[in-house]
C-alpha cells in the first residue's frame, strides 16, 4: 500500500494513496498504521481524499484503526471522504466517529479531545 505521512507536534496525518480500500489493502492499512513509530503519543488523522471506494473489509480496517487509537487514550479523525464513503462510515460507526469535511476541522476535533483529556487528567 502506498501512503503519505505528515507528522506534526501532536498529530500524524496518514493519507492512503489508493483509490480503492478493499480486502487486499485493508490488512495492510491496519498494519501500516500500527507500525508507525510517529504515532506514539500523537493523535491520528486519516486523510481519505484519494480513496474513492471501499468494501466491508476496508470499513472494518478503518474502524479497527480508529478504535485502536482510543484504546491507547489518543484521538482519531477522518477527513476527505466523498459523500458515499461518509454515508458508509456513518452507518458502520454511528455518531461515535469523528468525521470532518476539511483537514482544519479534523485537526480541531483531535486537538479539542486532547485538551479535554489534559483537563480531565488535571482534575484527578
Close Cβ partners of 23 (under 8 Å, ≥ 6 residues apart): 55, 57, 58
For the stretch 21-62, pLDDT in tens is 999 899 999 999 999 999 989 999 999 999 999 999 999 999
Residue 40 has a pLDDT of 87
Flag whether pLDDT at 124 surpasses 90: no
pLDDT of residue 84: 94
Distance CA 93, CA 19 (A): 21
Span 103-122, average pLDDT: 92
Query: Domains of the chain: which residue ranges?
Result: 3-123
The C-alpha atoms of residue 44 and residue 98 are separated, in whole angstroms, by: 11
Q: Right CATH number for 3-123 from 3.40.50.1100, 3.30.750.24, 3.30.70.2190, 3.40.50.1450?
A: 3.30.750.24
CB burial readout 48-83, b (16+ within 10 A) else e: beebeebbebbbebbbbbbebbeeeebbbbbbbbee
For residue range 71-111, list pLDDT tens digits in order: 999 999 999 999 999 999 999 987 889 999 999 999 999 99
Q: What is the DSSP letter of 38?
A: G
Q: Which helix (H) or strand (E) holds 27?
A: helix 23-34
Amino acid at each position: 500500500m502506498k501512503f503519505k505521512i505528515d507528522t506534526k507536534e501532536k498529530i500524524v496525518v496518514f493519507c492512503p494513496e489508493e483509490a480503492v480500500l478493499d480486502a487486499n489493502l485493508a490488512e495492510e492499512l491496519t498494519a501500516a498504521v500500527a507500525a508507525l513509530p510517529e504515532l506514539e503519543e500523537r493523535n491520528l488523522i486519516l486523510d481519505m481524499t484519494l480513496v474513492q471506494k471501499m468494501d466491508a473489509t476496508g470499513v472494518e480496517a478503518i474502524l479497527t484503526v480508529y478504535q485502536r487509537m482510543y484504546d491507547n487514550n489518543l484521538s482519531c479523525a477522518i477527513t476527505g471522504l466523498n459523500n458515499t464513503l461518509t454515508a458508509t462510515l456513518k452507518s458502520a460507526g454511528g455518531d461515535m466517529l469523528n468525521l470532518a469535511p476539511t483537514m482544519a476541522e479534523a485537526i480541531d476535533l483531535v486537538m479539542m479531545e486532547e485538551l479535554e483529556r489534559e483537563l480531565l487528567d488535571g482534575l484527578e
